[in-house]
Amino acid sequence: MQERQRRAFDAAMEAARCAYARQDWSRAFAQLERAHILGQRRVGAHTLTHWWMLKVGWQRRDGREMRGQGLRLLAALLMSRLWVPTGNTGGANVNPLQPMPIPDALRDVMEER
């Protein structure tokens, strides 16, 4: 992961942790989706975002999210270096194999320079 992308990933994760501490589950999850897009090609970063999504699912008592994140955690560990669907936000509300458009706010950060 290039430096700009790493900084953006770290900032999104920090924002997610802060929102989680405030019990602002919607904001935490939105930041985790951002972090997921930024970090999904790196095993550690990808796995970390799914772990935190699982934690948010637990706090929300959202069984679908918890089940989905359990499967995605395993897939992140096994598949991140081989193939990931670019732009996928990582939540259980989206198909885990579906590529998605990269949001404009992240596109510039993710471009190699």
Which region among 22-36, 44-58, 73-87 has the lowest average model confidence (pLDDT)? 73-87
Give DSSP secondary structure letters for 73-106.
Answer: HHHHHHHTTT---TT----TTS-TT---PPPHHH
- pLDDT digits over 81-99, tens only? 888 899 999 999 999 999 9
Distance CA 106, CA 93 (A): 21
Gyration radius of the chain over CA positions: 13
- pLDDT digits over 34-50, tens only? 999 999 999 999 999 99
Q: Which sequence spans correspond to the domains of the chain?
A: 3-110
Res 112: pLDDT:
59
Q: How far is CA 61 from CA 9, 18, 68, in A?
A: 26, 20, 13
Distance CA 92, CA 75 (A): 13
